């Protein structure tokens, strides 16, 4: 404490500079990492609020002594301190320990609050003041300290429990929090750590916050790794589904037939067939979104091959109001393939039709694939065949682009809508 002739805001800052700086630092960390999912942050904010309030209580006491305000105001300040110090330790315990019956654990604190509140009416149970601002302890003057020690001891006990359960890192940090609180309390009494209680409390919370943040980051990395593994597994499944043996055999049979009747057309289709297979394999080697134009070319190659071998005529219409965006590889093509095989080719009266439409707004890009097949009249088996590859495409869209894929069956056919957030939109010129 500095010697005062007048108390100003600068005096308050000088007396509490380290504590305020630590509080500001932790506030910046919490705001900067607000998107991190960390359990117990409400307790962190609560402890920070308590510490800040305690600095104000100290300032209020200094002003009372300096300006000799009515001594009864000190009852309010002291009650706040006796309420808040044990509350800090209790919230630290709630923060670090998996306590289910929090109300039961709060019983000592509640009793302490009641006794301190009664003393506001000058009952002298725990403390009292004289007009000269002299402080005196009552018969239960040690009770707030006992309550504080209870929660500190509980912190130490949980530290041992964590270590015994092989959560050594957490056990050591919790143990440090308990030990530093005890040493600081002794230091306040002996004079070598006077006025440092609030700063130490913030340091403890900062250390534990970094521990929680490290765990959250580790869990995020684990989930990311698992997502990548799942993506690799889905890619293998996609290879099996995309280059289906019956499609290859049908295409080869069509090419063989054309070799006898129209050699020139057969030669052109062989080139298309080779490009189609190469595009499948090349796309499967990438785990990043590709330009929509590449997926579109792949779709057109498939349509050319399907038309050559189909017994029923069908039409594919492209209504593309947006093309300069990215899509996960082999996601739109399987949906178009389904729309042709399980939609357009099931049309009994008239020509089967598939429409591929793209639009964009300020927020996202939409790809809509519709067909005029039997739609809602699908049997369960037909619906199951339709869904082959759809879940794969849906997961890739979610993982790679944070987008969505929605399928709906109507009396007029089927509608598939892919929505990609604008954040994933990139022009091909940037590739």
For residue 209, the model assigns a pLDDT of 84
pLDDT in tens, 82-129: 999 999 999 999 998 888 889 999 999 999 999 999 999 889 999 988
Lowest mean pLDDT among 12-21, 135-144, 380-389: 380-389
Q: Which helix (H) or strand (E) holds 35?
A: none
Q: Is 256 exposed, middle or buried (0-12, 13-18, 19+ CB in 10 A)?
A: exposed
For residue 383, the model assigns a pLDDT of 57
Q: Does residue 4 have a pLDDT over 60?
A: no
For residue 236, the model assigns a pLDDT of 54
Average pLDDT over the chain reads 83
Q: Does residue 426 have a pLDDT over 50?
A: no
93 in Cβ contact with 100 (< 8 Å) = no
Lowest mean pLDDT among 80-94, 141-155, 237-251: 237-251
Place 365 in a pLDDT band, splitting at 50, 70 and 90: very high
Lowest mean pLDDT among 48-57, 92-101, 205-214, 391-400: 391-400
Q: Does residue 399 have a pLDDT over 90?
A: no
78 half-sphere exposure, CB direction, 13 A CA radius: 26
Q: Does residue 381 have a pLDDT over 80?
A: no
For every residue of 239-305, DSSP letters joined together read: HHHHS-HHHHHHHHHHHHHHHHH-HHHHHHHHHHHHHHHHHHHHHHT--S-EEHHHHHHHHHHHHHH
Out of 151-160, 249-258, 402-411, the most confident range is 151-160
């Amino acid at each position: 404490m500095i010697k005062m002739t007048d108390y100003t805001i600068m005096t308050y800052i000088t007396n509490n500079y380290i504590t305020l700086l630590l509080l500001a630092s932790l506030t910046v960390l919490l705001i900067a990492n607000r998107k991190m999912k960390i359990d117990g942050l409400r307790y962190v904010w609560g402890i920070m609020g308590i510490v800040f309030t305690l600095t104000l209580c100290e300032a209020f006491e200094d002003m009372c002594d300096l300006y000799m305000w009515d001594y009864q105001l000190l009852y309010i300040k002291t009650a706040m301190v006796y309420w808040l110090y044990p509350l800090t330790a209790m919230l630290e315990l709630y923060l670090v320990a998996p306590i289910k019956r929090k109300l039961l654990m709060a019983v000592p604190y509640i009793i302490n609050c009641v006794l301190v509140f009664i003393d506001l009416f000058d009952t002298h149970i725990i403390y009292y003041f004289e007009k000269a601002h002299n402080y005196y302890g009552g018969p239960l003057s040690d009770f707030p300290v006992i309550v504080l020690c209870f929660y500190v001891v509980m912190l130490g006990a949980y530290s041992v429990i964590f270590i015994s359960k092989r959560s050594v890192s957490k056990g050591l940090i919790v143990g440090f929090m308990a030990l530093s609180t005890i040493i600081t309390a002794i230091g306040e009494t002996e004079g070598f750590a006077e006025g440092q209680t609030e700063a130490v409390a913030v340091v403890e919370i900062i250390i534990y916050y970094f521990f929680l943040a490290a765990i959250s980051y580790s869990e995020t990395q684990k989930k990311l790794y698992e997502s990548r593994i799942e993506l690799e597994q889905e890619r293998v499944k996609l290879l099996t589904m995309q280059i289906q043996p019956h499609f290859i055999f049908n295409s080869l049979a069509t090419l063989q037939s054309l070799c006898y009747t129209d050699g020139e057309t057969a030669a052109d289709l062989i080139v298309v067939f080779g490009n189609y297979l190469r595009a499948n394999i090349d796309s499967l080697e990438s785990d990043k979104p590709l330009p929509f134009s590449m997926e579109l070319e792949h779709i057109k190659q498939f349509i050319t091959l399907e038309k050559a071998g189909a017994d029923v005529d069908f039409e594919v219409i492209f209504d593309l109001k947006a093309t300069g965006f990215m899509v996960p590889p082999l996601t739109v093509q399987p949906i178009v393939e389904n729309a042709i095989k399980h939609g357009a080719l099931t049309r009994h009266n008239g020509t089967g039709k598939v429409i591929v439409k793209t639009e964009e707004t300020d927020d996202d890009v939409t790809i809509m694939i519709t067909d005029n097949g039997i739609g809602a009249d699908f049997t369960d088996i037909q619906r199951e065949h339709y869904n082959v590859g759809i879940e794969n495409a849906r997961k890739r869209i979610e993982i790679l682009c944070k987008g969505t894929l929605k399928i709906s069956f109507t009396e007029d056919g089927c509608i598939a809508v892919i929505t990609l957030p604008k954040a994933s939109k990139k022009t091909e010129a940037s590739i």
